[in-house]
Amino acid sequence: MSWPGAAAVANGEIRSDGGDGPPVVVKLGGARAVDPAGAVGDVAHLVANGRDVVVVHGGSTAVDDLLADLGKEAEYVETPSGVTGRFTDAETMEAFTMALAGQVNTDLVTAMKNAGVDAVGLSGVDGGLLTGPRKSAVRVVEDGKKKIKRGDHSGTPKAVNDGLLTTLLADGYTPVVSPPMFGMESENEGTPVNTDADRAAAAVAGALGAELVILTDVAGVYADPDDPDTLIESVATGAEYDALADAAEGFMTRKVMAATEALESGATAVTVADANVRDPIVAALDGTGTRIERSAVVEESAADAAADAEVDG
């Protein structure tokens, strides 16, 4: 989908100029196979044309590399629902903070600055940007048995300081957001904890009423993960969403989960797309990848009522 009036000729091609429409939240994956160069150029393009952009990034490869340098092996666990995630003990949490909020965030902000973007690096702890309860124990499956594994430092954002983001955007800055988040351990105290970057981006997109673009190392969600010709291009109904959820496997399960959370909390649409194509963000906004409309998650009657209220107001 292109927003009205959002097409401009650039280098002889039609490109979305990004000037109209809601903010864009871009989730940039941290896997080794994801090249951020195209996304950085697109952020510069969109910002130059008046679109508000927030970048949220991961950095799993950087964390694993640092752990290896420290002589510690990364530990991944499987939940009873079949989702695989990092187990973050105290030592891993230190490496996680150094790698993501330190190296990866600084490198990405530097790349944005060199592209002409007035970027500001933030962790989820800064200003209480991403806040939620710390999860110190997780349910896992080991050798076919369900167990409780303790000593984890993780959490899921339950609150977003959107005022901080809107203030920065209004002043012309582009926030570049990294985990960790602020994990509450009591009513008044918290600590930095690991949080999934896809779900962090979903929380930000929902809070801002933004369009979320999740960039990864594949073209989108496939009906058959082994067949690249089965890309699911559009998801607009509940039945289409059910088919999408059934098709998602492995790391894509978490991305579909994040898309669902974003749409339920106020995002306008979510697109899962390839980070390594030319103009990846602009291409996603113009319809490449797997686009999930809010109508696929929010009941049509509720969506219609919200639209009526907006018109009446």
Residues in the chain: 313
Which sign does the torsion angle of CA 35, 40, 46, 51 carry? positive
| Maximum Cα–Cα distance across the chain | 61
Which residue(s) pair with 98 in the sheet? none
The Cα 13–Cα 176 span in angstroms is: 29
How many whole angstroms from its chain centre is CA 213?
Answer: 7
Extract the annotated binding site for substrate.
Answer: 86, 194
Angle between helices 197-208 and 162-170 (to 10 degrees): 70
Q: Indicate the SS3 state at residue 299.
A: coil
Give the count of beta carbons closer than 10 Å to the beta carbon of residue 76.
12
Q: Are strands 84-86 and 53-57 parallel, antiparallel or unpaired?
A: unpaired
Structure tokens at 102: 């330190």
Extract the annotated binding site.
Answer: 86, 194
